[in-house]
Amino acid sequence: MRHFLSLFDVSDDELKRIFELGHQLKSRLKSGVREPILQGKVAGLLFEKPSLRTRVSFEAGMAQLGGSSLFLGEDVGWGKREAPQDFSRVIGQYLDVIVCRAKSHDKVETLAKYADTIIINGLTDLCHPCQALADLMTIREEFGSLEGQKLTFVGDGNNVSRSLALACAKMDMTFSLAHPKGYEIEQEFIDRILAVSPNAKIEQTTDPIAAVEGACAVYTDVWASMGQEAEQAKREKDFADFQVNQKLMDAAAKDAIFLHCLPAKRGQEVTDQVMDCKTSRIVEQAGNRMHAQKGLLVWLLTEAVDKVHLD
């Protein structure tokens, strides 16, 4: 049984294969081909947090692949009405895959421990691996390859930037984080990346101009994510010098694109000018959530499962 709780769960070659599948499925969809590769498969979307892109992209992706999905919100009582192991063992019998969007990474790990079905991390406080798939797929489309490219994240050492740091390490890219003092990625997580990718090129600095130098993609996120609303005022003050504006984009590579995982707070972490500029790829990036996840679903529900049977 293969799960996708973080990018640590796949090898570099497996990650490349997922990208290839995503690109192929996107190309076929553009040609009007919707192959029922996952006909009869059922995905459950177990969400503790609000969602637009994650929910819609997974539901649409499963439908296009011939499968179906159902949304499981707070009313199912996960972690409230019954013990996690009871809930997980029962729901695992009904579904072929569960996409879990949880407030804590521990809850996704518990689900994977007890549910006898494939678990995909749809976002936790630790990481957001499906978002990273779409992000690197977008860069690959723009520049033709990932190897040797540099991605700069301007903001917090959060779940999105941790996943990007790991994804870049796996694809031989340089990852740079420009952050206010105290908001860097924890050394423990960096050490985990270095343990599997000893040659990883990860830079962290409090100088945004230096961080974006040579970057092919400049990326940012809201300064206060879901669950951090109480810190909004403090974070606005701490991140005031880390807005992505045209001056910062001009310091990156000449053909650099702008990325944002959305939703964005225009005028705060990024200006309208950058959001709407010719090199902004936020719409294509959001669209690639579905295409990359379709590659992941096909890989997990067909190729990886077949490999387990062969072993």
CA 266 → CA 10, 274, 276, 279, distances in Å? 35, 9, 10, 17
- Which of 55, 101, 179, 291 is an active site residue? 101
Asked whether the beta carbons of 64 and 85 are under 8 A apart, the reply is no
- Is 221 catalytic? The answer is yes
Q: Where exactly are the structural domains of the chain? A: 12-128+286-307, 131-283
Residue 228 has pLDDT above 90, yes or no: no
- Is 266 catalytic? The answer is no
Question: What pLDDT is stored for residue 225 in this prediction?
Answer: 84
Confidence of residue 103 (pLDDT cuts 50, 70, 90): very high
Which of the 8 DSSP states describes residue 144?
S
Binding site residues for carbamoyl phosphate, as ranges? 101, 128-131, 261-262, 289
CA 216 → CA 57, 152, 155, 189, 203, distances in Å? 26, 8, 17, 24, 15
- Is 101 catalytic? The answer is yes
Binding site residues, as ranges? 101, 128-131, 159, 221, 225-226, 261-262, 289
- The structure tokens 């072929």 sit at 96
Residue 308 has pLDDT above 90, yes or no: no
What integer best gives the mean pLDDT of the chain? 95
Residue 258 has pLDDT above 90, yes or no: yes
Which range has the worst mean pLDDT, 48-52, 156-160, 165-169? 48-52
Question: What pLDDT is stored for residue 306 in this prediction?
Answer: 59
Q: Would you state the structure tokens that stand for residue 6, as one six-digit string?
A: 């973080």
pLDDT, greater one: 209 or 35: 209
Binding site residues for L-ornithine, as ranges? 159, 221, 225-226
- Which of 53, 55, 128, 281 is an active site residue? 128
Q: Would you state the structure tokens that stand for residue 142, as one six-digit string?
A: 């723009």
Residue 309 has pLDDT above 60, yes or no: no
- Which of 127, 221, 243, 293 is an active site residue? 221
Of 248, 237, 252, 254, whose CA–CA distance to 273 is shortest? 248
CATH number of 12-128+286-307: 3.40.50.1370
Instruction: State pLDDT tens for residues 43-91.
Output: 999 999 889 999 999 999 999 999 999 999 988 988 888 998 999 999 9
Residue 305 has pLDDT above 70, yes or no: no
- Which of 149, 216, 261, 281 is an active site residue? 261
- Which of 55, 64, 131, 156 is an active site residue? 131
Which of 18-35 are b and which e, b meaning 16 or more Cβ less than 10 Å from the residue's Cβ?
bbebbbebbeebeeeeee
- What is the total residue count of the chain? 311
Degrees (nearest 5) of the Cα angle 101, 146, 291?
40
What mean pLDDT do residues 130-153 have?
98
- Is 277 catalytic? The answer is no
Asked whether the beta carbons of 220 and 274 are under 8 A apart, the reply is no
Question: What pLDDT is stored for residue 311 in this prediction?
Answer: 39
Instruction: State pLDDT tens for residues 173-227.
Output: 999 999 999 999 999 999 999 999 999 999 999 999 999 999 999 999 999 987 7
Confidence of residue 107 (pLDDT cuts 50, 70, 90): very high
- Is 289 catalytic? The answer is yes
Of 110, 95, 109, 114, whose CA–CA distance to 45 is shortest? 95
- Is 105 catalytic? The answer is no
CATH superfamily, domain at 131-283: Aspartate/ornithine carbamoyltransferase (3.40.50.1370)
66 dihedral zone (left: phi>0; alpha: psi -120 to 50; beta): left
- Which of 3, 260, 289, 291 is an active site residue? 289
